[in-house]
Every structure is written in C-alpha cells, then in structure tokens.
Chain A
Amino acid sequence: MRQNDIVIGIDTGGTYTDAVLLARGSGKVLEWSKVRTDKQNLGSCIREAVIKLIEKNSAARNASAVNLSTTLATNAIAEGRMRPVCLVLAGYDEDSFKTWSFEKEIPSGNIIFVRGGHDRWGDESSPLDEEEIRRTAARWKDRVEAFAVSALFGNRNPDHEIRARWILQSGSGLPCTCGHELTGKLNALSRASTAAMNASLVPIVREWMDSVGSALSSLGVDAPLHVVRGDGSLVSSTWAKERPIETILSGPAASAIGASRLAGLSRERDAVVIDMGGTTTDIVLVRKGSLKLREDGAMVGGFRAMIPSGEINTTALGGDSQVFLNPDGVISIGPLRVEPLCIISKKRPEVIEHISRITHKGGASYEDLVFLIPAGKAEIQGDRAEKRIIERSGNSLLSLEDASKEFKDPVSGLGTVMGLVRSGKLEISAFTPTDAMCAMGCIPSGDVETAVKSAEILASLGPFEEGNAFCRAVLERVSEYLSLFVVESLLERRGFHGSKTSEENFRKRLAEEIVRPPSSDDLLPIGASLNTLIIGVGAPCDAFIPKAAGLLKAEFSVPDHAPVANAAGAAAAAFSVRKGVLVLPLPECGGFRVHLPWGTSDMPSIEEAIGYAETSMKKWLGGIVAEEAEGKVSWKLSRENNTVKLKDGTSYLLGITLWFEAVQDR
C-alpha cells in the first residue's frame, strides 16, 4: 500500500550513493543512508542504500515515488563511454561542415547528410530524401545502438525530423532522437550535437533505469521512478529514457533544491549554494527560491548540450584535493584529487611505518610524503623509466622522493611521473584537507596517527609551530579558496566572463582584492560583503563554510542533513515542463505563423496566433505533466518580444516567443 506522504530520494554521486526518506508535506528528512559508490555497479549501490533505509524505517517500502538524481549521463559523456550512434542531418551544408571542421563538435563519427531542411519561416527548402534515410537505416542498424536526426530549421518546422525518425525506427527497430524535441533554439550544429549525445545515452539510461527498477521491486518497492533534470525539475522515467541528456547536471540542481529546502529558504530569497564533495565543489545560484537557469546550454566533455541547466560553476577543490607546501611556506590546494594519507594507511600499513621512520630521521622533504600507487589493473607499458616506476610502486611503497632518484634530471623525472598519473597508470596519495580534519578529530573515519604525524612533518617544513597549526592553516586555506571561488563565480555573472588568460587573471586579482580584508592604509579599499545567503552542503562543508562566509561577510547556513542534501533535493523536486513557441509575423499579408512543437499554423492576427498557441500548448503540455502529477497542474505563461527600435522611437516586431510552463501543483 503506497503512502502518498513519503518519497524516496536517491543520489548516485562519484564517491557516495545517498538515499533519503522524505515527508512530502513537511519536507522533513525522516531517515537517510549513505554507501560508497562502486562505479562498476551503480544498481547494487542503490539497492544497498535503499535496504539501509528500509532497515531504519520500513515505511520506505511503501513510498509513493522514488526520485533519482544521477551523474550517470554526465560521466558517460565526460569519460567518453558513449554508445555508437548514427546521426542523420537533413538539409545541412556538407561543405560548410568540412570547411569549418564542424564535425569535431559532434560526438559521433557516423554522420549521414541527406537532402531536406526548411528555411527560417519553416517553409521547406528541399524535399526530404526519404529513400536515402531508408538505406541509412538498413546500412547502420547493426553497427549502432541508436539513431539521431536533426534538420536545418527543424525547430521551426519539425516535419522532416518526424518523418525521418519514423523511417529510421521502423527500418531498424532502434531508438531515434529528434533534435527539435530537445531544444527550440537556433544553431543546427548544437542541435545535432545535442541530439547525437542524447541518442548515445538512450541505451545507457534505459539499461540503468531498468536495473534500478528491478532492484527496487526485488525489495518490494514498487513506486514509480522519476528523474531530476539539469534544471531541477522532475520527469517520468519514460521521459528520461527518451531524453537522457536532460539529466546531465541533475546532481548540482538537486543539491540546490535540497539545500534550499533543508535551510528553509523562502520564495523571496536568493542564495549561493556551495556543494563540496571529495573531488570538486559546485556553486549553484538560487534566485527567489528557485534554480537560476542559463540560456546557452551546458558544456559536458567538451560538447555543448543545448538543454536548460542551472547556473553552475565547478572547481577542482574537495576534501581529497592534494595539499602542497611551497618552498616559501605557502599552502596551495588542488586541483589533483588524491587518496588521503589517513585512508591509504588503513589499507597499507607500511605507510605509517615509513612516516614514523622519517619522523625519527629528520630532514624530510614534501616529496617524502607523496606516494605513488599503481592504479588497478593498468597494463605496464611505456619506456624503460616508466616501467621501472610502475614496477617499483607495485613491489613496495614508493615515495615521490625515492622515485625521483631514478632519474638523472629530477625535473623531467617529475614530468614522467605526472604523465603516468594523468594517463591513469599511477595514483597518488598525499596530504589532503581530509587528513587535516582527521588529525584535528573532526571526522570519524581515517587513521588519526598517520594524519597527526604527517601534519607534524609538514609543519616542520614551513613556518608552523606544530602539526595542529599546520592543519588549521590548511582548513583556512580551503575556506579562502571557497570564498574566492564564490566571488569569481559572481563576477562572471557581472560581465567578467572572458575566457582569455588576461581576463581570467584580472578576474582572479579582483576576487583576491574583494576577499582580502582592507587594511587601514588602503587608499582604495575594495572589500565587499556578499548580499546573499550562503548555504553549505556536502560531506566536508562543516569545517569550511563558516570561515568562508566570514571572509565574505555573508550570512550562512549549514542545515541539518547537509551531507545528504542532494538526495533530499531529488525527493523534494517537482514535475515541470517548459516549452517556447515562436510566433513570426508574415511580411505584408499581416498574418502570423505559430511554430508549435509538431508543426506550423498560420493565423490572421496576433491575438488569434497567441490564443491558438495557448489552447494547443496547454492541452499538449498539460497532458504530459498531469499523467505523472496526478492531474494537479498550474501554469506559468510569459512572453518575450523580439523587436528593434526605429528612428521615430517605435518598435519593429521581428518575432515573439511565448513560454509555457506546466508545473506540478503541490
């Protein structure tokens, strides 16, 4: 018997899989669980997390829904594990593609150009070459797992994409993605790239959703599965299986929702959500209680996906980032993620032996506390020096100090070692903020002796009185990095978004000036205070957020259940679908053309055009949302006029975009 008032939220993150049981009405976290993520077997991680949840509260079995937030799609693209697809492009300029090397921007090598496409009015430019598409289906069906199709101006008239999909699906039995269903924006190249990415994710996400479904039903949980999208809204599993690309960046979006709910953020307030993990930290902007969306799509694995996503900045700073001690005694952190010393020493006791030895001996270097560890089952290849390093690291504990003695020239030697790390043949273990927290007794896991001793050694190398002072300095440094990152992210939104080195340097300098407390002799004190609330979530945030907020003179909150904010956000997310409809004036005949998701219609007046768009879109979108949201739908309508000013001050209308958003009513 399903209980309508409770929902399960699940987040499969890179390090942990979290599950939360949420009371729908109050938004309260009833129970939560956390298990380590095994990337090879995500389904069983979810199963394990849900079992723990059921153990704590058996009502979880009767949850009314299971909402997932996942990095599955993001990681598949970033790690290049995409399934093979064939991309059919109708009406695209093939010679342009060659001239401008556009194919590099498309994550599929199998591109077929066919005749077809429309013009900007949605009038057919050239008839669709259906015969060629039929041949393509037959030729490629055994070599790929999905098809994608995009037509020139397919967003102004989807007819060719819809016809092509029908031919491809019926001729191959494989799924097919249409570009116009993912975005209504111009830029045929980005639409093609987005469609191809989506198609290659379809089999991955289908298989995953199926395995999650059967894992849950084996536990007696038969609630419907929903998925969080990159814009923070919830969709049905059917929708997600067809449009998996929309689930990329669902993690930070769910975190932002979870953080806002857990912190009790009101509908009127803005917030900066800092979600800190082991490897990276995300910053997500919340405006007036909801996720702020960006217009230009999301970059994943070097490709642009034209899908709505939150304003998210990510930096390579986390609890497991490497801590460096520079020769001048200054601490720097990241960007490399390493194995914390207090964790590795639990697996390899020789680590603490080595550290104890150098404590007695004295005269240690930073490199004495950096260890090279062979990575998994990596094949031993490469030149002689590389092989020797890998072999030695496998035979016994190998510090970077000892490894560098293998090389005549230590500088090039270091280069070789780092090359092995980058190519995934070696991993590094070194001091991290996690070690600093462990040494100070802030976290329960990890070997305290290793953390304390290595902190003492590092303290002796710099201007620190003892290990504890060094650890405090590391935590302060992390807080400083976080505050700089917040300021830089906000500066980017203030127009300082250049990507050239000089612009990046300027942005960094300005951020430093803003964060640095002004001194009394400053002629131009720049220091600013943040005019918004900071909400910290993620496992290690407790140790850093108060200090970072202090530097920014900002109000902050680290809510209860902050470590599982993401899963809580997934549980709290609501259904919503937003679509734009373009209305273009038809020159001189005085009419207007309405570009709907399934075709175009001409209307004699603007009022009739808008009325027609409203009636048909409400029927269409309402149907999609009502199915999952049990009939309770409310509407947000808005209108954007694209005009240009004339000399006499009047406006000349170029087009109108009508926005329709169907939202699950709670």
Chain B
Amino acid sequence: MDPVNFSERVKYLLKTELPRGEKVVSEGIDLGRSLKPGRSAFMNAYGVNSEAEYKRQCIRDRKIMYHCHIGMSSWNETARGLKYLHRSLASEGFYQDRAGICLDRRMALPPAMRRNAPAETGPLLENLEEWLAVGQAAPIQPHMGDFMIGFPASADNTVLALRAGVTTIGNLSQFFSHEAPGWRDTPFTAGETVKAIALMGALREQGTLVHSYLDDGLGALFTDCATVAGWAFLERYIVEELMGAKLAHCVGGLVSDPVKRSGWIFALQEIHQGDCVGSMFYGDTISFTRDFSWNRGVVAETLLWDILTQMECPTGHAVLSIPVTEAVRVPNAEEILEAQIFARNMEGVARRVHPSFDFSAPRAFAEKVVSAGRTVFNNALDGLSDAGVDLKDPVQMLFVLKSLGPKLFEETFGAGTPNPLSLRGRDAVVPNDVFEHSLRSVDKFRDSFASPDARSSLEGRRIVLASTDVHEHALFVIEQLLEISGVRVVNVGPERNPDEIAHAVGAENADAVLVSTHNGMALDYANAMLEEMEERNLSVPVFMGGVLNQKVEENEMPIDVEESLQGLGIRTCSNPMDLLENLVVMWKNGTDEAE
C-alpha cells in the first residue's frame, strides 16, 4: 500500500525513476530553437506574429476578445464549421477572434498507440497536411487546449501545432488530473510535458503561451478557492521561473457565482504580477439545466459580468458564450453562431452599464484568495523541499504534484483554519462553487441514504467507484452519499482504464463496482472491464450510470445501450435513488442476492 502521510509519500514517490529535468529542458530548448512557427490565416488577416501580440493589443485598446468551442467529429466538419462561423458573423459586422478545437482524446497518445484506443468525440489529426490546415480554415485563431501539453504526445503535438501557426497551446492543468486512454507511464508524460513547455519557453519572444485551465486540473478538485490560487502560483513558478515560458491561465467553467468569476480575473492579474495574459474565460457549465430559457438567463448574467470585468481589468482573456443546448447535446454550428451574436449584443449592454458598476466585491474576493493562496504556495514549496523534492527540477515537481493528488495537497498545505469535521480537515477560506454545488446534491439525497433500511443493507460494504472519463463530480456526490450509508468507498477517480478498475476490485476486496461513464463507449468499456475482472478471477456486481451510449460504426451519434449492457450482466442506474434502491434490494438483510 502507498504511504498516506505527506513526507513518507513524497519519499516513496521519489524512488521512481524519472527523466532528469535539466536534460529534458535542454532537449526542449533545442527543439524550440530549431523550429520556425508557422503563420495562421488569422495572423495574416490581423498583421500580427502571434496570438499573444494580438492579446496585448486588445489589453491596450480595452477590446473584448471572443472565444468559441467547436467539437465536430471530424476535421473536415470542424473546418466547415469555422468557415461558416466566420462568414455568418462577418455578414452581421462581427468577427470571431479565436476558437478552441476539441480534439479526440486519443491525440494525447503517441501516434502508434492511437489506433487501438477507444475513439471519442472530436477530430483526430493524422498527418502534417491536416495539422497545417488547422491554421488556414478561416481567419479565426485556433486554440489547442486539450490533450496536447500534459500528455505523452506533448512535445510532438506542440511542434506540429506551432508549425500550423497555433501559438497558445495547453493544457498544463490536464497533466495533473487526466490520463491518456490506456496510458500508465506518468514519468514519461512528466518528461514530455516539461520538454514541450521548455520548447515553448525557447520561443517565448515569438509569442507562445502555455495555456492552463485550472478547472480542468486539480483546481476543480480543491474545496477552497485559496488552494486554487496557491496552485496557480505553483504552476506559474514551474512554467515561468523554471522554464521561462509564458503561462496563460484560464478559469470559469466550474464557477457559477458571478462575483467569484469576476474576482478570479483580478486575482489572476495579481498572481501574474500585473502582467496577466489570459487564454480565455470559460462560461459557467454547472448551472445549466435541460431548460434552454433558464440557460439563456445564466449566459446573460455571466457574459455581462465577464465582459464588464475585462473592461475594468483587461487581461486578454477571451470571453466564451456557451450555447444554451450544451448540457443536452454537442452544439451544432448554428447554435454556436447564435450564442456568439448574443455575446456581441451583451457587450453593448456592458458598455452602457460599466461606468456605474461596483467591483468592490470581486476585488475583495481576489484580495482574500491571493493572500491566502500565497500562503498555500509558500507552504507547498517549503513542504516539498523539506521532503526532498528538488524545487529546481520541473520533472520532479510535476510528477510529485500529480501523484500527491488534490486531497493530500489540500490537507497538507491548505490555508483555512483547521477543523477536523471539514472535508479536507480545514474550513475553506472561500468555498469552491463546484463543491458547494455537489454538496447541495448530497443534501438532496442525504435522508434516503441515512435511512435505517439503507444503512442496514449497506453498512460495512466496500464499493469501488470510478469514472471512465473526465467527469468527476458525480463520483464526489456518490462517494459522500454512500459513506452516509456506512459504505467503505474506494474512489479510484476519473479516467480509469478497465484494468485499473479490475485491479482495484481485487486489491480492495470490493463487494461491488460503480462506474460513471459519459463518453460514448459504454459497451466496449463494459466488455473490456468484465474481461479484466474475469481474468483476475473476480466476480462482483458491476453498476454503470451516467450516459450509457456507444458509438456504432454507421451512426454519427452514439446510441443508447442500457439494455445491451444489462445483457452483458451490468446493472444500470440513472440517479442516486435508483442506485440506492438497487443496492438495498441486492444486499437486504446482509445477504447477497446470489446466495
């Protein structure tokens, strides 16, 4: 068993054979020096040499930048979408500054391994030609945010993106909480990530920006905004101090309180010592429902605040207007366009409101989290150094920070007042929205899970909990609820491979497994997981919940496979109550159904 105490855990982690930071950095620099970044259609259209140069112009001119996210299933469709967006906006007198290209998660793997990994949504760029086309589809600057830096293919992908004229590349945060499908070699990933960042550092003067979306990494998994701020300081230290690259931080997707949203911009400006150049500012994704008119209200409120904040404190963060359909389906080009036009209209509202708007609440938030965040940052550097980490070696830093995980980090270095009853052993300086959101879900079902019926059936059982993809908050909610019923939960976390789940079932002597899945591969995944368990001579009930669908060759959209999963022997459930009822029936009176 791995040690759970911080310093013992670090000592244990440092026994791992890692690439030497100094060597990897110099390899990255050599790669960077030999590379001439390409020019995108956007650069030609606006007469700039990089996106960073354009961002600095926007900051100077207090101009609002707009971001959109485009997630079509192939590159051709994506390119068509970009062209359509550019043409349609231009006819209204608007322009689109940048677009995030949502790549297939397999892009994170070295090219040779991509073929065997399960496909997910988004285009897979398979050759140089396709890469180079990315920058030329339309005069909209491409942003390569996902599955690039932070993954095994970091350096290779970064080189190709730069050649295509993409200069803002991420996503460092994903290194800490994501994994490429089927990948296990974290030391290798840490080395390649460092190599890519050092490469970007070598080209800093050419306007490269290392993008890092805090909500995608451990930022979303801390309960306290102060810890998130501390983490942002740490990332800046690693990227800028150790490797000389420019870090562009992004937040927003998991922040629903507009005061906190606005406050984060002020805070990031502080954290980046007054020279913050942000990539983009993500829209609120946790307040959306299936009711589109409600969602429109959410978008209106956040856009107004986000644009106003850029007027008050320009940081180059491009504003993102999320289509109201996004919680239900992958938005199509028309829906993206509609959201963008809405944002331009909101800018008019903001310009009228700005002179009389009061920013004291966001500023107070920023002051609070920056000051506490600095404490977290200093605590962390001292703690890591005492435990034997070489603070000058970026590979060691990345590897250790990732392996520690959010819980141990926050418990050890958090800035809040110690309180054993709190989730991470401390009261949060400013609670994180997404955790408050999840806690509300927990409260909703608390009584049912605390009922004598639930407890008598579930108490003392061991359940392994995991997610096949990035979706983690469902795990958090289910974990809390099951613990209320007295279950000993082993939460192995997001993006687990079938063999990792089977391994956990064996090692933890589990009575059941719960798997959350959302990425359109439920059938393939379930089959692989059952085989991995059979191979290990394990036979425990498997529950799957989330979005139970599967991509099937001929169909463009994944199809519902709930009944097919049941045919394989998987038990399916649609919500926490459903799960509870299933578990209670199975284990009523402390006996197994099968007995």
Contacts and interface: CB of A to CB of B under 8 A. Distances in A.
Given A644-B523, A647-B560, A120 B535 contact: yes
B574 to A, nearest CB: 16
B48 to A, nearest CB: 38
Contacts of B327: none
Contacts of A215: none
Interface in A323-375: none
Interface string A644-665: 1111100010100000000000
A591 B116 CA distance: 9
B532 A120 contact: yes
Given A120-B532, A189-B537, A646 B559 contact: yes
Interface residues of B, number: 39
Interface string B445-481: 0000000000000000000000000000000000000
Contacts of A188: 535-537
Contacts of A121: 116
Listed from nearest, the 6 A-B pairs whose CB atoms lie closest are A96-B506, A588-B119, A189-B537, A589-B115, A99-B509, A95-B507
Interface stretch (B268-276, B315-323, B343-351, B563-571): B563-571
Interface of B: 1, 115-119, 182, 184, 497-499, 503, 506-509, 521, 523-524, 527-528, 531-532, 534-538, 550-553, 559-561, 563-564, 567-568
A496 interface: no
A587 B116 contact: yes
A295 to B, nearest CB: 14
B506 A186 contact: no
Contacts of A95: 1, 506-507
A227 to B, nearest CB: 30
Nearest to B564: A644
Contacts of A99: 506-509
B508 A587 contact: no
Contact of A102 (B524, B537, B553): B537
B528 A120 contact: yes
Contacts of B536: 93, 96, 152, 188-189
Interface in A563-597: 586-591
Contacts of B499: 119-120, 125
Given A93-B507, A96-B506, A587-B116, A187 B564 contact: no
A591 B115 CA distance: 9
Interface string A98-123: 01101001000000000000011101
B552 A652 contact: yes
A153 B535 contact: yes
A644 B535 contact: no
B506 A152 contact: no
Given A587-B116, A645-B567, A120 B531 contact: yes
Nearest to A642: B527
Interface residues of A, number: 33
Interface in A586-621: 586-591
Contacts of B523: 644, 652, 654
Contacts of A648: 559
Given A100-B506, A644-B567, A187 B537 contact: yes
A190 interface: yes
A448 B527 CA distance: 67
Nearest to B506: A96
A645 B538 CA distance: 25
A93 B503 CA distance: 7
B500 to A, nearest CB: 10
A12 B559 CA distance: 60
A588 B524 CA distance: 11
Contacts of B532: 119-120
Given A119-B499, A652-B552, A589 B116 contact: yes
B182 A119 contact: yes
A102 B184 CA distance: 26
Contact of B552 (A102, A190, A590, A646): A646
Nearest to B554: A650
Contacts of A654: 523, 527
A587 B534 contact: no
Nearest to A193: B537
A190 B537 contact: yes
A228 B112 CA distance: 47
A122 to B, nearest CB: 10
Contacts of A590: 553
B115 A586 contact: yes
A110 B547 CA distance: 46
13 contacts: A100-B509, A102-B537, A120-B532, A123-B116, A126-B184, A152-B536, A586-B115, A644-B527, A645-B563, A645-B567, A646-B559, A647-B563, A654-B523
Nearest to B114: A589
A186 B507 contact: no
Contacts of A125: 184, 499
A646 B499 CA distance: 25
Contacts of B567: 644-645
Given A96-B507, A120-B528, A647-B560, A186 B534 contact: yes
Interface in A277-306: none
B503 A187 contact: no
Contacts of A96: 503, 506-507, 536, 538
A397 to B, nearest CB: 51
Interface in A462-500: none
B460 to A, nearest CB: 16
B119 A587 contact: yes
A587 B117 contact: yes
Contact of B534 (A93, A102, A119, A187): A187
Given A93-B507, A589-B116, 8 more contacts: A93-B536, A95-B1, A119-B532, A186-B535, A587-B118, A587-B521, A588-B119, A589-B115
Nearest to B553: A590
B463 to A, nearest CB: 15
Contacts of A591: 115
Contacts of B184: 125-126
A340 B278 CA distance: 96
Most buried by A among B497, B532, B535: B535
Most chain B CB within 10 A, of A120, A591, A654, is at A120
Contact of B564 (A120, A587, A646): A646
A186 B502 CA distance: 14
A65 B584 CA distance: 64
Contacts of A119: 182, 497-499, 532
A648 B552 CA distance: 12
A652 B550 contact: yes
B532 to A, nearest CB: 6
B538 to A, nearest CB: 8
A553 B547 CA distance: 58
Given A102-B537, A187-B537, A645-B564, A120 B498 contact: yes
A153 B533 CA distance: 11
A360 to B, nearest CB: 59
